[in-house]
């Protein structure tokens, strides 16, 4: 088999894996948009905040330690214990549910039936608040995140492809784990949205807030639930991305990777977030491989948006998004 | 009653307002935001050294030093705001801590008559003091760094790089592109193939680039990264099992925070350095005892001895030495920004003087002049030991290939002078 074809196959496989990581971030956006029509600008910061909280709990870090020490002149940084990863993830989820409640109590419920742009602006404010709050709570240092996920070259794939094709493919173990987790997450979310009472209520709220209220659906409960689920998705994304680069404040920028995925897959479709992620992942990697070297490289960031825009020309609602028709 | 209120208000103001020290050094720090991991150690090191001088020596020449912190979050606009806020408060010198802020401050500070010191970043051609009267970029430039990295690789390869392949993995920005021209010249001179691989900011996703490195199998990867790009690159290099001792970063890609997330995989990674590593310096020990243990430190004390912290201490020591020079030359303790500029230009810190300062081997000897605003223009190579979680210098400070770089500096600085209608100074006077 020609060498270039083998390279292209390897790039495609890695593109699929990267696409799954993008989808993980996009899923959080889709969930909240589906339930409340809000484009949650704070989704990336939620991933950061959840990862910071997870590491903080695992390492036994004292929240707001810097502030406490500055005010009281103490030198308290750690409780002196380490919490196992599973327990820390569960505790972090409790924090994310509390955050969801706070977001609903202090922001969302005051904005029922407001224009989407108002809701969007509120999430911008939330993003900045959470970033500062996370800094105050856990500090700005880079933090190692190790929940026991494998990383690095998958030797089995490397050896198998080498024996079969004469060239060993590189696939990162972490990407394989992320793909499995994302698949399970999507299946769970689709089942939840389609077949559970709360899931159907969530979709009803998404269609019309007031109509949902009139049939006895608790808007507060649904929004807290949805923000909690989005918080869980953010935590999963934070773990995957944080395991690669450490937990640091630029983690919030992963949201930039989700935008073209949403444009392509549609803002209201969970499968769309996955398919969109895969198309963007493969598309940008193949373009970088084939065209990048001719035009100076670093094409991935902008090409993802170009690809999404091309799709939008033919399907403005995205591949799987709901077609919105407004009659006047 | 009114008098009492006024007196109380005045007393409150006197308590709240900072003491007006006469040696004001604004610190455009970034302790928050995406790049805080690089900003905090430097800020702590710089402030802690000045605190040591204030407490131990009563300041410099009898005047206390006021490190006026202003948070920029590594944002150029905020950096310019900080400059505007502080320049009227007696600022003697600015260390912008960002190439973006440096570029903004070069014309402003030049017009305001306040010297700017970009510590191994900013505009490389500011080495030429004939054109850049108010700007200093000691101790080393990116072009010097690129040359030292190639020189080191050549020494590792038995003196020749002919037929070798060197990849430059760089941040796709003006900063990341800085070494390209130098490396192109050096590849012509030494006969190695240069492979340029760009990574878009912020650099969280580098799969394509590392797959390319895996395919192309370069003998060395030189690395001009920043922020999250550093941690991801080190991790990806470990993932593809690239030999870490052939992976050499610039000094902004060589701090503890850049390698710790990759754990054992980062072992053996190398980076250029313009300052010493570790804590085996009398002055660092003094800071530990008299500042950190006394609870007078600027941060939480955990950065003491890190690469960035030592860089802050080194920079503060150089600033302090310039202040001493200005005081000695003018005969007054309260100096002006103009005195400070003159002293920077006359800076002469020998190896013996570094020893006297309790910083033996922290950097190469510095001697500036009217025409030369950067010295010694040397870099060493440091290597990461993942088990000890420590960097250590594995070479002496090395000279770059001046024959290649100096003509480039002359050409670039003269082009700047022409664009900005600057008549180069006659430095023979």
Does the pLDDT value for residue B339 go beyond 50? yes
Supply B117's token pair: 């010191």
B231/A7 CB distance under 8 A:
no
Does the pLDDT value for residue B4 go beyond 60? no
A237: region left, alpha or beta (phi > 0 left; psi from -120 to 50 alpha): alpha
According to the model, what pLDDT value does residue A324 have? Answer: 66
Does the pLDDT value for residue B1 go beyond 80? no
CATH class held by domain B22-140+281-367: alpha beta
Q: Is B222 helix (H, G, I), strand (E, B) or coil?
A: strand
Chain B residue closest in CA terms to A22: B205
Confidence bin at A244 (pLDDT 50/70/90): confident
Does the pLDDT value for residue B8 go beyond 50? no
Report d(CA A92, CA A147) in Å as an integer. Answer: 13
Number of domains in chain A: 1
Do B232 and A244 form a contact (C-beta atoms < 8 A)?
A: yes
Q: What is the percent of chain B where pLDDT is above 90? A: 89
Cβ neighbors of A66 (< 8 A, separation 6 or more) are: A136, A139, B300
- Nearest by Cα to B123 from B415, B418, B399, B366: B415
Do B109 and B130 form a contact (C-beta atoms < 8 A)?
A: no
A152/B32 CB distance under 8 A:
no
Tell me the ipTM for this assembly.
Answer: 0.90
Go through chain A and tell me how many residues it has: 328
Among A18, A153, A246, whose Cβ lies nearest the Cβ of B231? A246
Report d(CA B263, CA B385) in Å as an integer. Answer: 10
- From A288's Cα to the closest Cα of chain B, the distance in A is 7
Confidence bin at B121 (pLDDT 50/70/90): very high
Cα dihedral B270/B271/B275/B278 (nearest 10) = -40
Window 51-70 of A: residues touching B by CB (8 A cutoff) are: 66, 69
Confidence bin at B223 (pLDDT 50/70/90): very high
Report d(CA A147, CA B356) in Å as an integer. Answer: 48
Please compute Rg for chain A using Cα positions: 21
A297/B40 CB distance under 8 A:
no
Does the pLDDT value for residue A328 go beyond 70? no
Cβ count within 10 A of residue B49: 29
What is the mean pLDDT of the segment spanning B4-30?
62
According to the model, what pLDDT value does residue B243 have? Answer: 97
Confidence bin at B33 (pLDDT 50/70/90): confident
Cis peptide before B164 (omega within 30 of 0): no
- From A170's Cα to the closest Cα of chain B, the distance in A is 7
> What DSSP line would sit under B313-338, residue for residue?
HHHHHHHHHHHHHHHHHHS-SS--HH
Go through chain B and tell me how many residues it has: 429
Query: What are the two backbone dihedrals, phi and then psi, of residue A16, each rounded to the nearest 5 degrees?
Result: -60, -45
Contacts of A69 in chain B (CB under 8 A): 300
Contacts of A249 in chain B (CB under 8 A): 32-34, 36
Q: Which residues pair with B128 in a beta bridge?
A: B372
Among B32, B35, B235, whose Cβ lies nearest the Cβ of A245? B235
Q: Is B121 helix (H, G, I), strand (E, B) or coil?
A: coil
Confidence bin at B174 (pLDDT 50/70/90): confident
B34/A253 CB distance under 8 A:
yes
Question: Which tens digit of pLDDT belongs to each residue from A254-296?
Answer: 888 889 999 998 888 888 898 999 999 999 999 999 999 899 8
Chain A residue closest in CA terms to B207: A14
Give the residue from B38, B74, B176, B211 with the most A CB atoms within 10 Å of its CB, the best one to mutate. Answer: B211
Q: Is B367 helix (H, G, I), strand (E, B) or coil?
A: strand
Do B216 and B189 form a contact (C-beta atoms < 8 A)?
A: no
Report d(CA B408, CA B125) in Å as an integer. Answer: 8
- From B193's Cα to the closest Cα of chain A, the distance in A is 15
Report d(CA A250, CA A142) in Å as an integer. Answer: 10
Question: Which tens digit of pLDDT belongs to each residue from A32-42?
Answer: 888 778 899 99
Do B109 and B115 form a contact (C-beta atoms < 8 A)?
A: yes
Q: State which residues form the domain around A183.
A: 3-261
According to the model, what pLDDT value does residue B14 have? Answer: 44
- From A250's Cα to the closest Cα of chain B, the distance in A is 5
Asked if A10 has any chain B CB less than 8 Å from its own CB, the reply is yes
Q: Is residue A164 part of a domain?
A: yes
**Which is the CATH superfamily of the domain at B142-273+380-404?**
Response regulator (3.40.50.2300)
Does the pLDDT value for residue B15 go beyond 60? no
Q: Do B22-140+281-367 and B142-273+380-404 show the same overall fold? A: yes
Q: Is residue A236 part of a domain?
A: yes
Place of tokens 């493919």: A169
B155 compared with A67, residue with greater pLDDT:
B155
What is the mean pLDDT of the segment spanning B243-266?
96
What is the mean pLDDT of the segment spanning B26-55?
94
Contacts of A133 in chain B (CB under 8 A): none
Q: What is the DSSP letter of B292?
A: I
> What DSSP line would sit under B165-189, residue for residue?
EEEEEEESSHHHHHHHHHHHHHHHH
- From B33's Cα to the closest Cα of chain A, the distance in A is 6
According to the model, what pLDDT value does residue A70 have? Answer: 82
Report d(CA B117, CA A136) in Å as an integer. Answer: 31
- From A152's Cα to the closest Cα of chain B, the distance in A is 4
Question: Which tens digit of pLDDT belongs to each residue from B84-114?
Answer: 999 999 999 999 999 899 999 999 999 999 9
B36/A141 CB distance under 8 A:
yes
Q: Is residue A239 part of a domain?
A: yes
B228/A296 CB distance under 8 A:
no
Chain B residue closest in CA terms to A253: B202
Does the pLDDT value for residue A64 go beyond 70? yes
A246/B215 CB distance under 8 A:
no
Domain spans of chain B, in order of start: 22-140+281-367, 142-273+380-404
Chain A residue closest in CA terms to B173: A298
Report d(CA A54, CA A60) in Å as an integer. Answer: 10
Confidence bin at A76 (pLDDT 50/70/90): confident
Helix or strand holding residue B135 (H, E) = strand B135-136
Does the pLDDT value for residue B3 go beyond 90? no
Does the pLDDT value for residue B9 go beyond 80? no
Q: Is A246 helix (H, G, I), strand (E, B) or coil?
A: coil
Does the pLDDT value for residue A108 go beyond 80? yes
Q: Pairing mode, if any, of strands B380-385 and B390-393?
A: antiparallel
Q: Which residues pair with B390 in a beta bridge?
A: B385
Report d(CA A234, CA B271) in Å as an integer. Answer: 34
Asked if A140 has any chain B CB less than 8 Å from its own CB, the reply is yes
Q: What is the DSSP letter of A275?
A: H
Report d(CA B379, CA B139) in Å as an integer. Answer: 9
Report d(CA B229, CA A127) in Å as an integer. Answer: 23
Chains A, B: CB pairs < 8 Å: 121
Give the residue from B34, B71, B172, B175 with the most A CB atoms within 10 Å of its CB, the best one to mutate. Answer: B34
B265/A142 CB distance under 8 A:
no
Question: Which tens digit of pLDDT belongs to each residue from B266-286?
Answer: 999 999 999 999 999 999 999
Q: Is B100 helix (H, G, I), strand (E, B) or coil?
A: helix
Place of tokens 């589906």: A34
What is the mean pLDDT of the segment spanning B218-227?
96
Do B154 and B160 form a contact (C-beta atoms < 8 A)?
A: yes
Cβ neighbors of B282 (< 8 A, separation 6 or more) are: B358, B359, B360
- From A131's Cα to the closest Cα of chain B, the distance in A is 8
Candidate from A201-205, B41-45, B114-118, B243-247 with smallest mean pLDDT? A201-205
Contacts of B242 in chain A (CB under 8 A): none
Do B90 and B336 form a contact (C-beta atoms < 8 A)?
A: no
Does the pLDDT value for residue B220 go beyond 80? yes
Contacts of A253 in chain B (CB under 8 A): 34, 202, 204, 228
Among B40, B204, B257, whose Cβ lies nearest the Cβ of A253? B204
- Residue A113: HSE in the Cβ half-sphere, 13 Å Cα cutoff: 6
Does the pLDDT value for residue B291 go beyond 80? yes
Report d(CA B232, CA A244) in Å as an integer. Answer: 6
Beginning with the edge strand found earlier in the chain, give each strand of the sheet holding B193-199 in spatial order: B193-199, B165-171, B220-224, B247-249, B270-273, B380-385, B390-393
Candidate from A274-278, A320-324, B30-34, B40-44 with smallest mean pLDDT? A320-324
Question: Which tens digit of pLDDT belongs to each residue from A297-315?
Answer: 889 889 999 998 988 888 8
Torsion sign over Cα B343, B345, B349, B350: negative
Cβ neighbors of B327 (< 8 A, separation 6 or more) are: B60, B61, B333, B335
Q: How confident is the prediction for chain A on average, in pLDDT?
A: 90
Q: Is residue A123 part of a domain?
A: yes
Q: How confident is the prediction for chain B on average, in pLDDT?
A: 93
Place of tokens 């204030």: B54
Report d(CA B388, CA B390) in Å as an integer. Answer: 5
A135/B205 CB distance under 8 A:
no
Place of tokens 């980076």: B271
Window 241-260 of A: residues touching B by CB (8 A cutoff) are: 241, 244-246, 248-254, 257
Contacts of A246 in chain B (CB under 8 A): 231, 257, 260-261
- Nearest by Cα to B388 from B248, B264, B251, B284: B264
- Nearest by Cα to B86 from B27, B23, B136: B27
Report d(CA B409, CA A290) in Å as an integer. Answer: 36
């Amino acid at each position: 088999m020609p060498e270039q074809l083998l390279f292209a196959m390897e790039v495609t496989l890695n593109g699929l894996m990267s696409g799954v990581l993008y989808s993980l971030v996009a899923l959080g956006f889709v969930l909240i948009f589906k339930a409340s029509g809000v484009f949650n600008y704070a989704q990336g910061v939620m991933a950061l905040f959840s990862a910071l909280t997870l590491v903080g709990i695992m390492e036994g870090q004292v929240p707001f330690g810097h502030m406490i020490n500055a005010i009281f002149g103490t030198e308290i940084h750690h409780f002196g214990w380490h919490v196992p990863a599973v327990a820390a993830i569960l505790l972090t989820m409790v924090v994310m549910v509390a955050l969801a409640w706070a977001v609903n109590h202090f922001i969302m419920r005051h904005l029922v039936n407001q224009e989407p742009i108002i809701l969007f602006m509120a999430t911008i404010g939330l993003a900045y608040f959470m970033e500062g709050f996370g800094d105050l709570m856990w500090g700005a240092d880079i933090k190692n995140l190790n929940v026991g996920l494998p990383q690095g070259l998958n030797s089995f794939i490397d050896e198998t492809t080498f024996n079969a094709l004469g060239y060993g493919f590189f696939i990162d173990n972490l990407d394989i784990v992320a793909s499995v987790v994302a698949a399970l997450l999507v299946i769970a979310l689709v089942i939840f949205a389609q077949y559970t009472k709360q899931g159907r209520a969530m979709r009803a709220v998404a269609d019309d807030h007031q109509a949902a209220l009139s049939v006895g659906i608790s808007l507060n409960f649904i929004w807290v639930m949805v923000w909690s689920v989005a918080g869980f998705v953010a935590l999963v994304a934070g773990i995957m991305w944080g395991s690669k680069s450490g937990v640091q404040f630029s983690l919030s920028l992963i949201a930039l990777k989700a935008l073209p995925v949403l444009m392509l897959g549609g803002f209201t479709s969970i499968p769309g977030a996955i398919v969109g992620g895969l198309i963007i992942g493969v598309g940008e990697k193949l373009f970088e491989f084939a065209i990048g070297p001719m035009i100076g490289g670093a094409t991935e960031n902008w090409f993802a948006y170009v690809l999404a825009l091309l799709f939008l020309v033919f399907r403005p609602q995205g591949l799987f998004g709901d077609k919105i028709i407004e009659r006047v | 009653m009114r008098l009492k209120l006024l007196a109380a208000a005045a007393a409150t103001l006197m308590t709240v307002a900072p003491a007006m020290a006469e040696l004001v050094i604004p610190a455009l720090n970034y302790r928050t935001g995406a790049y805080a991991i690089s900003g905090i150690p430097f800020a702590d090191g710089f402030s802690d050294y000045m605190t040591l001088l204030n407490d131990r020596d009563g300041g410099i020449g009898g005047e206390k030093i006021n490190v006026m912190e202003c948070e920029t979050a590594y944002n150029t606009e905020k950096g310019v705001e900080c400059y505007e806020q502080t320049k009227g408060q007696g600022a003697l010198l600015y260390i912008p801590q960002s190439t973006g802020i440096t570029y903004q401050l070069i014309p402003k500070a030049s017009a305001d008559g306040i010297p700017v010191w970009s510590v191994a970043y900013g505009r490389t051609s500011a080495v030429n003091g004939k054109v850049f009267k108010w700007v200093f970029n000691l101790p080393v430039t990116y072009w010097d760094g690129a040359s030292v990295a190639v020189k080191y690789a050549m020494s590792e390869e038995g003196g020749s790089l002919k037929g070798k392949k060197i990849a430059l993995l760089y941040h796709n920005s003006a900063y990341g592109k800085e070494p390209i021209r130098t490396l192109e010249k050096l590849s012509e001179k030494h006969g190695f193939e240069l492979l340029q691989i760009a990574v878009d900011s912020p650099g969280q996703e580098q799969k394509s680039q590392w797959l390319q490195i895996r395919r192309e199998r370069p003998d060395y990867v030189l690395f001009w990264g920043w922020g999250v790009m550093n941690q991801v690159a080190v991790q990806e290099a470990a993932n593809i099992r690239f030999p870490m001792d052939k992976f050499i970063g610039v000094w902004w890609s060589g701090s503890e925070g850049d390698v710790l997330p990759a754990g054992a995989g980062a072992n053996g990674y190398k980076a250029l350095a313009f300052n010493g590593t570790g804590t085996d310096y009398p002055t660092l020990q003094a800071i530990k005892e008299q500042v950190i243990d006394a609870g007078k430190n600027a941060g939480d004390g955990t950065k003491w001895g890190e690469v960035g912290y030592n860089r802050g201490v080194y920079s503060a020591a150089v600033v302090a030495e310039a202040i001493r020079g200005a005081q000695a030359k003018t005969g007054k303790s309260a100096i002006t920004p103009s005195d400070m500029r003159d002293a920077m230009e006359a800076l002469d810190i020998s190896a013996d003087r570094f020893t006297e300062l309790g910083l033996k081997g922290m950097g190469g000897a510095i001697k500036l002049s009217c025409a030369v605003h950067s010295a010694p223009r040397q870099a060493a190579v440091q290597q990461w030991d993942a088990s000890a979680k420590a960097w250590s210098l594995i070479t002496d400070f090395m000279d770059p290939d001046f024959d290649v770089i100096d003509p480039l500096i002359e050409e670039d600085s003269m082009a700047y002078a022409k664009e900005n209608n600057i008549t180069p100074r006659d430095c023979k006077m």
